[in-house]
Chains A and B, each alone.
Chain A
Amino acid sequence: MQEYFYKMLNISSVSGNEENLSQLIKDNITQYVDEIIHDNLGNMICIKKGTGKKIMLTANMDECGIIVTHIDKKGYARFSLVGHFSLYALINQPISVNGEIGIVRYGEEGEPKDLKVSKMFIDFGFESEQDALNHINIGAIGALVPHYVQNENKIISKSFSNKVGCYILMQLAKNIKDNNNEFYFVFTTQREIGNKGAKVSAYNLEPDYCIAIDKVIVSDKDEGIKVKNGPCIKLKDKSMITHPTVRDLLLDAAKRANIKHQLLVCSESESEAGVIFTQKTGIPSGTVCVPVVNHRTNYEMYFEEDIDKTVKLLQGIV
């Protein structure tokens, strides 16, 4: 992995607050692209110019987080979720708000059951309401405290889907030498709160086709998706059925380069491609997913070989 990948893991980018990550990506991609545009929603569109097909590749920069909604008399912060965190994954975890670190606590005695966000709060160790208000404000955004562990080719970090996708896009921008087609590497915002960035950037760019880079949660069933088995080409999810043009493009690329891959048909998850394909007069779209263990928790796990193979697969589409 490139050194900047680990720097990305040390940045929090809660939906709507992707600026720092976007800046780091920009610093490391500028030399490989011809133009960079920031749009009204904070999407960063990196263009490699060409006269052929317009190919859009997306990965979202944002992660789930919390927003402070109230400070009580004891100085505890009440909060709501930004995105769909599992409450079980949040409880007892350290959260950083405006640089202050606190622990998520549950306001009832005994083992937590039927978790409700309204019964949870963040304890920063402040002594009073005023003490808390001197450091954090209503509306402040919080994220899990960044950390990572690398164990051989295994990477464990807090909620870092889809920084993995962003990293893959950055590798593609560097590796793709095609001078004919035009490439839009789009680092999107606000995916976790409704695929907002993807929607407006696709409307704006109107590409000939689009591939979203996403994650897939590994299954504990025998026949399900596995780690270390390569990228998943998604054929169907809750939000879309992969367009045949894009599906064949991906399957052919995998075959040509002899890349071990998995096929994914699911009825639950959705992806950015699901909002992109209905923009303007329709955009043929598909999704390539990297397997992840423990999605949207403080300890997600990815394998380097899955990431590398995803890069190779996508390089092969041109």
Chain B
Amino acid sequence: MILENLCNEIGISGHEEKIRKIIYNEISNTVNDIRVDTLGNLYAYKKGKNNKHIMLCAHMDEVGFVVKEVLDDGAISFASVGGIDSRILPSKSILIGEQRIPGIIGVKPIHLQTEDERTKVIKEEDLFIDIGTNSKEETLKYVNLGDYISFNSRFEFLTNKIAKSKALDDRVGCSVLIEILKQNFECCIIAVFTVQEEVGLRGASVAGFNLKPDYAIIVEGTTASDVSGVEEYEYITSLGKGPAISILDGGSYSNKELVSKIVDSANKNNIKFQYKKGTTGGNDAGKIQISDSGIKTAVISVPCRYIHSPSSVINIEDYENTKKLVQTVLSEIK
């Protein structure tokens, strides 16, 4: 499964090369034109039979960390790349740099913590990475300042429907786009795989210019908050209820005519869907909507529980339905 390969590869924001390579190899034979821009965004153009141009967009990068400093005792001080809840970090297994040097995020043992330290969230600067070395010199044999750090977590199924992995946001989107590009549609497709979404939609800030698509559909992984202890009215999305369609989020207001095409298509083809309920957070649509002289955007997302963690969880049926929904929408654009 291509989704599994994409999730198991590492592509922290600014280091998307390996993801780009997988995508390139998967699609280069099925598209008419393929190129990479200065920032690293990958563009694939697939000609159709009519003159409508639909931009599809997914980001290649994932959240992670970067090596900030190697301390005298060999421990590594790090900074996060993208939004990560520091409460989830202690004792997590990680991989550093190209060589995938394994390490563990360490913290001062509980019996040495003050009462204040025990009751407060441990901040990133009070955590360190332990790769089993005892001195700065020894650590520097394996690790350099600026090396990227990824969660060490592989794609696996918890049940036959529920899958767990790091980086599901947004390898689900990349995977949907790859599968779409292997099919033929009446409309022309401009697929854009962007870089550095997690650190401020940076790839997308340039990706929307000069393409002049009729519509842009952003395929994302988004927060599912349907977990124990949360009131139902605070569920942003729920697992198993199908792709989430955004009306408004912190970055963009979806084009109404495009949203109604998507909703009609879902209803006509009996594809289960939900509306994304929260209006906070953002994605590449925030930049694409206001690129050039304005682009009509919409966002379709696969709900992910525990997003931005080593163990994001999706329902594979939501993934399949997201793919199906994008397919039917594209096939109905005349």
Contact = CB atoms under 8 A, between A and B. Distances in A.
Contacts of B280: 80
Interface stretch (A64-72, A175-183, A282-290): A64-72
B233 A78 contact: yes
Interface residues on A, range: 20 to 34
A246 interface: no
Interface stretch (A159-167, A197-205, A291-299): A197-205
Interface in B227-262: 232-235, 247-248, 251, 253, 255-256
B26 interface: no
B279 A69 contact: yes
Contacts of A139: 247, 275
A200 B278 contact: no
Contacts of B270: none
A258 interface: no
A43 B293 CA distance: 10
A235 interface: no
B166 interface: no
B3 interface: no
Interface string A186-199: 00001001101101
- Interface core residue of B278, B291, B293, B296 (most chain A CB under 10 Å): B293
A41 B295 CA distance: 7
A39 B294 contact: yes
B222 interface: no
B290 interface: yes
A85 to B, nearest CB: 13
Given A16-B248, A16-B256, A41-B289, A70 B294 contact: no
A138 interface: yes
Interface string A2-26: 0000000000000111000000000
Contacts of A101: none
Given A118-B234, A190-B253, A70 B277 contact: yes
Interface string A65-109: 001011010000010111000000000000000000000000000
A31 interface: no
Contacts of B232: 70, 72
A40 interface: yes
A199 B277 CA distance: 27
Nearest to B296: A40
A78 B233 CA distance: 7
Contacts of B275: 138-139
B290 A196 contact: yes
Interface string B284-304: 000001111111100000000
Given A40-B295, A190-B253, A67 B247 contact: yes
Given A67-B247, A69-B233, A80 B278 contact: yes
Contacts of A16: 248, 253, 256
B203 to A, nearest CB: 19
Interface string A27-44: 000000000000111010
B248 A203 contact: no
Given A139-B275, A196-B253, A72 B233 contact: yes
Given A70-B233, A139-B247, A80 B292 contact: no
B80 to A, nearest CB: 25
Contacts of B293: 39-40, 200-201, 203-204
Nearest to A72: B233
A200 B279 contact: no
Contacts of A41: 289-290, 294
A39 B277 CA distance: 28
Contacts of A194: 251, 290
A200 B291 CA distance: 7
A72 B232 CA distance: 8
Contacts of B291: 200
A200 B277 CA distance: 27
B294 A200 contact: yes
Contacts of B279: 67, 69, 80-82
A256 to B, nearest CB: 35
A67 B292 CA distance: 28
A15 B253 contact: yes
B88 to A, nearest CB: 23
A163 B247 CA distance: 24
Contact of B248 (A67, A200, A201): A67
- Interface core residue of A70, A118, A201 (most chain B CB under 10 Å): A70
A17 B257 CA distance: 12
Contacts of B235: 70
Nearest to A80: B279
A208 B278 CA distance: 40
A193 B253 contact: yes
A235 B232 CA distance: 48
B85 to A, nearest CB: 19
B292 A200 contact: yes
Interface string B10-39: 000000000000000000000000000000
B256 A69 contact: no
A278 B248 CA distance: 26
B222 to A, nearest CB: 14
B36 to A, nearest CB: 25
A83 B255 CA distance: 17
15 contacts: A16-B253, A16-B256, A39-B294, A41-B290, A67-B279, A69-B278, A69-B279, A78-B233, A80-B248, A80-B278, A82-B248, A196-B253, A197-B294, A200-B292, A200-B294
Interface of A: 15-17, 39-41, 43, 67, 69-70, 72, 78, 80-82, 118, 138-139, 190, 193-194, 196-197, 199-201, 203-204
Given A39-B293, A196-B289, 9 more contacts: A40-B293, A67-B279, A80-B278, A82-B279, A190-B253, A197-B294, A200-B293, A204-B292, A204-B294
Across chains A and B, which 10 residue pairs bring their CB atoms closest together, nearest first? A204-B293, A200-B294, A40-B294, A80-B279, A16-B253, A41-B294, A139-B247, A70-B233, A69-B277, A78-B233
